Amino acid sequence: MTRPAMTRLSAKPKPRIRLPEIRARAFDREKDSGGGIENLLSRGQQARFRAIATVLDYQRSGSAVLTEGEDAHFIYSVISGVVRISRYSDSGRRQVLALMLPGDLFGFPQGGRYVNSAITASPVSLYRVPWQRLRELLLHEPEMHLNMLIRVAFDLREAQRRIMILGQQNIAQRLASFLIDFSQHPDFYDERKRTLSLPLTRFDLGDYLGSAPETVARAFAKLEKAGAIRRISPRLVEIPSIEVLRHVVSGRRRAGNRRRQDS
């Protein structure tokens, strides 16, 4: 039995990565506290983690954090913003593999090198930790080691879930799943206004959902026609009801729609 294709990769040449506007600084308690990864650590572990970490502020999107094939010297954790993890095929086709959000860890080496590229999708603040110093710290902090392992295991389960989404859902369902996921993050979703700020361009979103930008645009139109969303601007979407999006993902139609079609 042949295996179904998991994604459709958009064929675009490798972009020229701009030099990042970046500022390195020490940890700032008021500015950086509650930066995701700290929620996994005790107060003492937080202090030891900060002692070996540098905070990097990227002022704009499109800045390279790390590049596939580079020697890997650092591990990163997102404090704020979004980082897209991607890989290119030999033909130059890009696939966005994951989106790193506050609390996420990335940059773990394989054979001493980075296996993916990481590019900012928005202004971003990151913890940067020397890999060797982190390894030494984890050897002496079994509980911290376990907490980090739990986080990595969570990321693995999310990657497995995304494989199922790409393999089993149509593009409208994939887009609805994406909108539901990001509505869980207060950095992007205004619960009072029911509006979601999209952190990706249509090209990035297409590569993340495994489809062409034009197909994603048609999926947005389909969701809007179904009453699941209302586009306010290219990067701002109103979500009147999360439940309607869940119906799209599950393939169920609302009772009102069925009655209208049956009459």
Tens of pLDDT, residue by residue, the chain (263 residues):
444 444 444 444 455 444 456 666 555 555 555 555 666 777 888 888 888 999 999 998 899 999 999 999 999 999 999 999 998 877 777 888 999 988 888 999 999 999 999 999 999 999 999 999 999 998 888 888 888 788 778 777 887 888 888 888 999 999 999 999 999 888 899 999 999 999 888 889 998 998 899 999 999 999 999 999 999 998 999 999 899 999 999 886 554 444 444 43
Q: Give the pLDDT of residue 85.
A: 94
* pTM of the predicted model as reported, rounded to 2 decimal places: 0.74
CB 229 within 8 A of CB 179: yes
Annotated domain spans of the chain: 22-165, 169-262
Measured CA to CA, the distance from residue 49 to residue 141 in angstroms comes to 11
pLDDT attached to residue 2: 44
For residue 1, what pLDDT is reported?
A: 46
DSSP structure string for 72-132: --EEEEEEES-EEEEEE-TTS-EEEEEEE-TT-EE---BTTB-SSEEEESSSEEEEEEEHH
Residue 195 three-state SS: strand
Considering the domain 169-262, what is its CATH architecture? Orthogonal Bundle (1.10)
When the candidates are 3.20.20.450, 3.40.50.2300, 3.40.1190.20, 2.60.120.10, the CATH number that belongs to 22-165 is 2.60.120.10
Neighbouring-strand partners of residue 57? 23, 125
Strand, helix or coil for residue 24:
strand
User: What confidence tens digit (pLDDT) does each residue in 114-165 have?
Assistant: 999 999 999 999 999 999 999 999 888 888 888 878 877 877 788 788 888 8
Distance CA 244, CA 176 (A): 9
